[in-house]
Amino acid sequence: MNSSSLLGIATFSYLALGLAHLYQFFFKRRKASPMLFNGAVGAVVLNLAGWIVRWHEASQTGYGYVPLSNLYEALISLSWCTVVVYIILEKKYKTGFLGIFIFPLVSLAMAYASFSPRVETAIQPLIPALQSNWLTYHVLTCFLGYAAFTASFGASIMYLVKTGKKTKPGEKQALPLPDADILDEVLYKANAAGFLLLGIGIITGSVWASRAWGSYWSWDPKETWSLITWIIYAVFLHARYARGMRGRTAAVFSIIGFIAVLFTFLGVNYLLSGLHSYA
């Protein structure tokens, strides 16, 4: 089975998991089924298998690079990272319905990677600057950071929904959402992890840039927006520690940060030209 087939099955698995989470959520189940968690583990294994086979296919062509070099490979890699982060958070916090946000996003990303005419799926040789192990260190740490921010975004939306409608004493909330304090902790911990990982990604990227182009920093649009995104989350963490920022303010701040993440990952590629552009 080739990588396209495996990744196609993973895409439909993610979509099915998203629909299943929505079904359980809107039919007011108090907890998502453990079967959905096991399904997520199976789907992420399929995603990883497709990624590994893609790596093997690249090796067979004689190029032999880790599949992280173009937008197609970036999307399937980021999807995998996002579901891994979801599984870790779900195992620890048992939020139940965070998958409502995670799985539609990753299935959409995977489908876009496979079917969009703007995404090149062919395996092509790397330019000399990309032929480095620093590619793996830099891209994977950034993607794990983006994945953590995605999970925080989902928890932030859930927090706003949870706290948006006040219930009367003794009245059950209409939607089966986790406790607000748990969601607040999830969005904070995910942002803290993403901040650390993105910081490592920026540092490894700087070292790689120095070796490839002779300069640690060139103010390339992707570099600039990565720094802007990192600063936004730095402000979030500072406000959390110094000012005790929590609740709805923290959730809104987290959503603003995620908008910056989206622009850093996709907006820069299509709207601004630079050394990091996939488009």
**CA pair distance 152, 132, nearest whole angstrom:** 31
Taking residues 44-48, what's their average pLDDT? 96
What b-and-e string marks burial along 89-119, b requiring 16 or more CB atoms within 10 Å of the CB?
Answer: bbeebebbbbbbbbbbbbbbbbbbbbeeeeb
Instruction: Output the furthest CA–CA distance in the chain (Å, rounded).
Output: 67
Residue 117 has pLDDT above 50, yes or no: yes
pLDDT digits (tens, 9 = 90+) for 143-182: 999 999 999 999 999 999 888 766 555 555 556 778 889 9
Of 140 and 132, which is predicted with more confidence?
140
In 3-state terms, what secondary structure has residue 134?
Answer: helix
- Find out whether 154 and 100 touch, Cβ atoms under 8 Å: yes
Residue 275 has pLDDT above 60, yes or no: no
Taking residues 129-148, what's their average pLDDT? 87
Helix or strand run (H / E) with residue 107: helix 99-115
For tokens 């859930």, the residue is 158
**pLDDT attached to residue 173:** 57
Instruction: Kindly list the domain boundaries of the chain, sorted by start residue.
Output: 1-120, 129-164+178-279
- Say which range, 65-69, 198-202, 257-261, has the weakest mean pLDDT: 65-69
Taking residues 48-68, what's their average pLDDT? 85
pLDDT classification of 279: cutoffs 50, 70, 90:
very low
From the list 204, 98, 205, the residue with the least C-alpha distance to 147 is: 98
